[in-house]
């Protein structure tokens, strides 16, 4: 028998986790640990899309694949790298970047989707919009459980008990049905609107809402390459809401053009130019260079 601190042989470990019978692996072992699980199940993937004002406005997307443990690492990394940009605020002259959505909420949403999804159905789908983030996984709630019950005390009834057991033993979940409560709590602590959960197309859709954009007076759409996807700046300058949004884009991408700003804001280039001239007059920005130049932030 192995001593404390020693690792069990792989075969014995899988048997103890009830993922193998002798030399035969169970399908769930491939889903959890397989090197190429999509060779056997073509839907062990997570599709992430960045949308603008609606579902027809797809900006870019990625499809990640791998076993559950790999996806638990890959998905947050991809979201942070390409899909979620940090809102910018100013305290005096100090620039501060904050998460658009609480990490704890996204983690619980992803864990719930991976543990409770129907692995015969479609892949997990994550959609990032200007004002919300959604995660959808195929598989309805167990019989007798309702959407409303997820907001309060409810028992843990995993769709995939073996997956849930391994994730529990690995320390990812606590098996007490607290995942959805953690999502609501994380949003409340972050000052965001309450998350929503709904049944949709044979699955469960969880949505995080971010109304900071609406409060700033316009929509700001993040794209690949580090552009803005959240709250407009707070500054000591006397700027209108729209000027704050233009200022935010310029801070995040000093080489942004009037044409790009026009497309993002949904206004014509002459209107963009008026906002830029106002920012220049108020001492927020100045132009360095001509056609290939860039904006210098003064404020």
- Residue 213: name the closest of 227, 229, 224, 225 by CA: 229
35-86+98-212 shares its CATH topology with 235-297: no
What local confidence, expressed as pLDDT, does residue 125 receive? 95
In terms of C-beta density within 10 A (0-12 exposed, 13-18 middle, 19 or more buried), how is residue 74 classed? middle
Instruction: Please state the domain extents for the chain.
Output: 35-86+98-212, 235-297
pLDDT of residue 70: 93
Six-digit token string for 55? 């579902």
Out of 3.40.640.10, 1.10.10.10, 1.10.3720.10, 3.40.50.1860, which CATH number does the structure's domain 235-297 have? 1.10.10.10
On whether the CB atoms of residues 40 and 27 are closer than 8 A, the answer is yes
The correct answer on CATH 3.30.565.60 for the domain covering 35-86+98-212 is: yes
Q: What is the 3-state secondary structure (H, E, C) of 231-278?
A: CCCCCCCCCCHHHHHHHHHHHHCCCCCHHHHHHHHCCCHHHHHHHHHH
Q: How far apart are CA 116 and CA 126, in angstroms?
A: 15
pLDDT band of 62, cuts 50, 70, 90: very high
Could you read off the pLDDT of 179-224 as tens digits, one per residue? 788 998 998 888 888 899 998 888 899 999 986 444 443 333 333 3
41 within 8 A of 31, measured Cβ to Cβ: yes
Per residue in 157-177, pLDDT (tens digit) is 777 788 888 888 878 877 676
Confidence of residue 148 (pLDDT cuts 50, 70, 90): confident
List, in sequence order, every beta strand (DSSP E) within the chain.
20-21, 24-25, 45-51, 58-65, 88-91, 94-97, 124-128, 132-138, 196-200, 203-209, 285-288, 294-297
């Amino acid at each position: 028998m192995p001593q404390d601190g020693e690792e069990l042989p792989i075969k014995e470990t899988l048997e103890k986790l009830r993922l193998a019978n002798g030399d035969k692996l169970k399908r769930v072992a491939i889903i959890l640990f397989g090197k190429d699980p999509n060779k056997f199940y073509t839907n062990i993937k997570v599709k992430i899309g960045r949308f603008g004002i609606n579902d027809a406005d797809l900006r870019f997307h990625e499809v990640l694949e791998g076993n559950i443990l790999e996806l638990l690492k890959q998905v947050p990394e991809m979201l942070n790298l390409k899909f979620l940009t940090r809102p910018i605020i100013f305290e005096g002259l100090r620039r501060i970047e904050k998460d658009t959505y609480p990490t704890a909420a996204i983690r619980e949403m992803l864990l719930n989707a991976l543990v409770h999804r129907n692995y015969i159905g479609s892949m997990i789908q994550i959609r990032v919009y200007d004002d919300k983030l959604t995660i959808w996984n195929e598989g309805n709630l167990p019989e007798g459980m309702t959407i409303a019950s997820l907001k309060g005390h409810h028992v843990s009834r995993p769709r995939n008990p073996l997956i849930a057991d391994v994730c529990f033993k690995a320390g990812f979940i606590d098996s007490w049905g607290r995942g959805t409560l953690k999502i609501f709590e994380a949003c409340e602590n972050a000052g965001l609107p309450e998350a929503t959960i709904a049944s949709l197309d044979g699955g469960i859709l969880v949505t995080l809402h971010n109304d900071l954009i609406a409060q700033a007076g316009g929509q700001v759409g993040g794209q690949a390459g580090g552009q803005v996807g959240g709250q407009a700046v707070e500054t000591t300058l006397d700027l209108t809401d729209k000027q704050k949004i233009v200022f935010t884009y310029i801070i995040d991408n000093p080489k942004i053009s009037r044409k790009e700003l026009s497309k993002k804001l949904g206004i014509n280039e002459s209107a963009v130019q008026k906002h830029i001239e106002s920012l220049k007059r108020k001492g927020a920005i100045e132009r360095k260079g001509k056609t290939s130049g860039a904006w210098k932030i003064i404020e």
